[in-house]
Amino acid sequence: MAAVVFPVRRRDFAQGTVERTLRPYLPQVDAFVTVSQGRVGRFDVERANGAWRGGFPDNENASSTGTVPVAGPATRPQWTTTTLPCRDVVAADTGRFPVYDHTSVTEIPAGGTEPVVRPGGPTPGSAARAGSGGDHLSNEIAYRATPPRDRLGLRGRLPGGHAHTPVPRFGAGDTGPATGAVTDPEFVRNRLDIIARVRAILAVAAGA
């Protein structure tokens, strides 16, 4: 098992750092999962990734709203999709944090002009406004990681996609960072459980 940490910076993404980093390794791995922090108390396996930046600032406080920029001759579909075995991951014993198969997206339907939330995923010919994982760089890293899988002819045999992890919390009554604290026993428990669950998701995906 190996990992890489990407900067939360739009300029790096626009320069193709995700695609360049992952492409050489995709033919060699059994599964891949891009990971970011999501909501409290749950994992989300994100079904669809949209070609849209919603404007939330990155770690350089840079903001961009519009279609995800893709460098070079690569095609830019409105949607890419996970090949993680979502139902198997949801059904597996992955610990105290539940795992959800998250399918909802926001789109502008074909022929339409206004965004519509689609709980069941995108409809044919629609324009993306938010993937299942939103419209920030967590959506974009999955949007960028999945096309190389498909262009390499690996879609039918390489499980890959994005998972949002729970937000680790401090214990009840603990004000955490407000007091200068960076950890406590509950925070450590959450962190270790989240790490174990990510490993379990990878194991289920690799064995699918």
Block means of pLDDT (10 residues each) for the chain, 208 residues, are 92 94 95 95 96 95 93 79 94 85 98 97 98 97 94 93 92 67 85 92 89
**Residue 182 pLDDT:** 77
Distance, CA of 18 to CA of 33 (rounded, Å): 13
Q: How many helices (H) and strands (E) does the chain have?
A: 5, 11
H-assigned helices in the chain: 10-14, 17-22, 86-91, 137-151, 185-206
Q: What is the pLDDT of residue 94?
A: 66
Asked whether residue 7 is assigned to any structural domain, the reply reads: no
Q: In whole angstroms, what is the distance from residue 89 CA to residue 197 CA?
A: 10
Provide the number of structural domains found in the chain. Answer: 1
C-alpha to C-alpha distances, 20 to 17, 42, 137, nearest whole angstrom: 5, 31, 17
| pLDDT value at residue 11 | 94
Residue 2 lies in a domain: no
Beta strands, E only, the chain: 32-37, 43-46, 48-50, 52-54, 65-67, 79-81, 99-102, 105-108, 116-118, 127-130, 160-165
User: Does some domain include residue 96?
Assistant: yes
Neighbouring C-beta atoms of residue 89, cutoff 10 Å:
27
The whole-angstrom distance between residue 97's C-alpha and the CA centroid of its chain comes to 17
DSSP-based three-state secondary structure for 17? helix
Task: Identify the domain containing residue 88 by its residue range.
Answer: 39-170+182-206
What is the model's pLDDT at position 169?
84
Residues 6+ apart with CB under 8 A from 33: 84, 160, 161, 162, 163, 198, 201, 202, 205
Backbone Cα Rg of the chain: 17
Domain for residue 200, yes or no?
A: yes
pLDDT at residue 170, as a whole number:
82
- pLDDT at residue number 110: 97
Q: What is the pLDDT of residue 72?
A: 66
Whether 162 maps to a domain, the answer reads yes
165 domain residue, yes or no: yes
**Is residue 34 included in any domain, yes or no?**
no
The pLDDT score that the predictor gives to residue 2 is 86
Domain membership flag for residue 15: no
CB 122 within 8 A of CB 78: yes
In this prediction the pTM is 0.89
